[in-house]
Structure 1
Amino acid sequence: MWGSGNWSAPHPECIGIASSPRSQCQRAHLHDVSFSSSYPRNRNCRVFSLPYPHNDSMMKVRPKRKQGCRKAPQRQWKCRAVVSFPNLQADDFRHPLDRQNTALLRAVPGLNEFGKILLGPVSEQVMLLENIGTSVHVTENQLSDLHQLMVEAANILCIEVPDLYVRQNPVPNAYTLAIGGRKPFVVVHTSIVELLTRRELQAVLAHELGHLKCDHGIWLTFANILTLGAYTIPGLGSFIAQTFEEQLFRWVRAAELTCDRAALLVVQDPKVVISVLMKLAGGCPSLAGQLNVDAFLEQARSYDAASSNPLGWYLRRGNCPTHCLFCVPEK
């Protein structure tokens, strides 16, 4: 959701996608990976088909009737061509700033392993018990359609399918955690399930899988620890901590942008990803049919123009230090 580059770049370009259609499909560019809805342009990609309902909704039941008899309702499906990426690695779609900060932490000997040992057992055990006690565990036999969306997304991103939970919460949100040796999990709130279409919801799941694929949890945890620890340094502690926080916010924005790229790899339609951001900004089920992605893109461009001067850029950064619906470009 956040990016870096020039101040004038609107959101679609910042997440590595083309905002206007070419021919009958929209193409997405993530580094050297190119795909379209017709045929992959990269030899490392292959196409397969996934069924999904008409009108991008959840499963619609349309009974077929004949005179003198009744038949059971049947689901109306059509197939969409999906490009897979065998042996996909996190660095294949990782944002440059995300890659840079991750490389700095990886350079510290033993830091990753130590963090997983130190932070994993307690935090994951607490979250595991909380999920089991307060949420619905999604499986093949429980909310199977949602489970299938997760399986499809995990297969495209070449990652093990994590546990998925649905939690009752009026705030649309989703999050994930994977630090120790336990199986990672993703939690989605009921409000975001109600707000989004099937493919939009899969984009959210893919976004969270992007965090797991890139191992963001452990690195962000360390960044927070370093920031808090800097406050204890006498004299320059506050200044150093503020510097760490600024770098941390830049990193978080880049990490979220990386995960938006992961969502795009899965749904393979830029407008689906943008529609998720639009609905999180001001959507609700009763207004879903009136929302316009193109108008939202124009709003993003006007926001970019309004914050193009140094003062506007500074205020923009302050309004959304970590999560932002429009990218906050940086040099």
Structure 2
Amino acid sequence: MAATEDSQRRILKQIAPISWEHPADRAALNALRRIPGFDLVLRKIFALFGERALRLAFKANAVRTSEKQYAWVHARLARVCEVLDLEKPPECYISQTPIVNAGAVGFGEPFIVLNSSMLEVLSEEEVEAVLGHEVGHILSGHVFYRTLLLLIFKLVLVRYTLAGLALGPILMALWEWYRKSELSSDRAGLLAVQNPRVTMSALMQLAGGTRGVDLDLDEFIAQSDEYREGGDLLDSVYKILNVLGQTHPFAVMRVAELRDWIEGGEYERILSGEYQRRGEKDDHPYREDLKEAMTGYQEGAREIFDEVDAAVDRLRGRISETFRGRKER
């Protein structure tokens, strides 16, 4: 896929977030929203102290971008919001942190936080892709639930261990949704910059970029293919276990998911103007989202079963060879 020049970047007027959202993300989030009173009660409780405390913390200990502070970040955020048709750009803060990362937090008026180390490692174009990713979280309505999850994790698990054990299964389910929401927002980041290589390069830098070191994107894509396609049954088990404690999917898998979405044709269709507009009737209902998500999980499970079958065949073959070798002796 060729890069899109800034002058040719398509403005996606009135694009509905459902256009880029991963089906597993939509299904899980819709399930949360359908709990009677869930949104209303939690918003009232946490809006009393959560967002105000968070915003004050960053106003006190971070630099807010503007035309005078980190002007290039401010300008690129404005361009991202123009492309994704977000009328009022969110506030953006730069926080002095050595971990290369970013986030969108808040309830009523979410804001974006970029860690300072990200500005040292990523190019300006890659930072713009990250800004598009975070704006995608805001437009999809992820930020409320993600902030809520982080607050629960800090307030409950850290202070009340027994409560944390009781909530363990629920939190694991929420973390799984949290990871799926990253896949949705990776797509939003791509739509914002409309340059697949820049978006995938940003993910590569987040995985292991270092200031002053040039990385090879094609080599990272090959690594992504190797991780996705290689390994035996035990490797598949390890892949599942490894991700359980992570807040984000592994970068190599995010690159693979993004490439699948591009190769499936949906990215090009959106750029050509074929996408759902805000306010239009949802032509992709919750049950269909759930069906798509379940299909994806079933396909994943089927792959594991196929690997189990192949592993058993290989084991049977090795046992037979060993047995024959002993008889020949």
Q: Shared fold (TM-score greater than 0.5)?
A: yes
- In the superposition, the TM-score normalised over structure 2's length comes to 0.68
Between structures 1 and 2, the one with greater strand share: 1
Q: In percent, how many aligned pairs have the same letter? A: 28
Q: Which of the numbers 137, 140, 145 marks the counterpart of 1:214? A: 140
Q: Which of the numbers 298, 301, 317 marks the counterpart of 2:240? A: 317
Give the SS at the match of 1:287: coil
- Match of residue 190 from structure 1: 116
Q: Which of the numbers 59, 70, 95 marks the counterpart of 1:167? A: 95
- Match of residue 212 from structure 2: 286
**Is structure 2 residue 84 aligned with structure 1 residue 157?**
yes
Indicate if the aligned counterparts of 1:200 and 1:276 stay in contact, CA closer than 8 A: yes
> C-alpha displacement at 1:312, in angstroms?
1.5
- Match of residue 72 from structure 1: none
Give the SS at the match of 1:162: coil
With over 3 angstroms needed to count, the CA separation of the structure-2 counterparts of 1:167 and 1:241, relative to structure 1, is closer
- Match of residue 18 from structure 1: none
2: CA distance, partners of 1:104 / 1:232? 26
> C-alpha displacement at 1:131, in angstroms?
1.1
> C-alpha displacement at 1:293, in angstroms?
0.6
- Stretches of structure 2 lacking an aligned partner (at least 5 in a row): 258-295, 298-329
Q: Which of the numbers 135, 140, 150 marks the counterpart of 2:62? A: 135
Give the SS at the match of 2:94: strand
2: CA distance, partners of 1:129 / 1:218? 17
Between structures 1 and 2, the one with greater helix share: 2
Q: Structure 2 matches for 1:42-81, cutoff 5 A?
A: 50=6, 80-81=7-8
Given residue 162 of structure 1, which amino acid in structure 2 is its aligned partner? P
Q: CA RMSD in A?
A: 2.6
With over 3 angstroms needed to count, the CA separation of the structure-2 counterparts of 1:123 and 1:168, relative to structure 1, is same
- Match of residue 297 from structure 1: 221
Runs of 4+, deviation exceeding 3 Å? 220-229, 240-243
- Match of residue 327 from structure 2: none
With over 3 angstroms needed to count, the CA separation of the structure-2 counterparts of 1:222 and 1:148, relative to structure 1, is closer
Q: Structure 2 matches for 1:1-331, cutoff 5 A?
A: 21=1, 25=2, 37=4, 50=6, 80-159=7-86, 160-180=88-108, 183-220=109-146, 241-288=167-214, 291-307=215-231, 309-320=232-243, 321-323=246-248, 324-327=250-253, 331=297
- Stretches of structure 1 lacking an aligned partner (at least 5 in a row): 1-20, 27-36, 38-48, 51-79
| Number of equivalenced pairs | 248
> C-alpha displacement at 1:318, in angstroms?
2.1
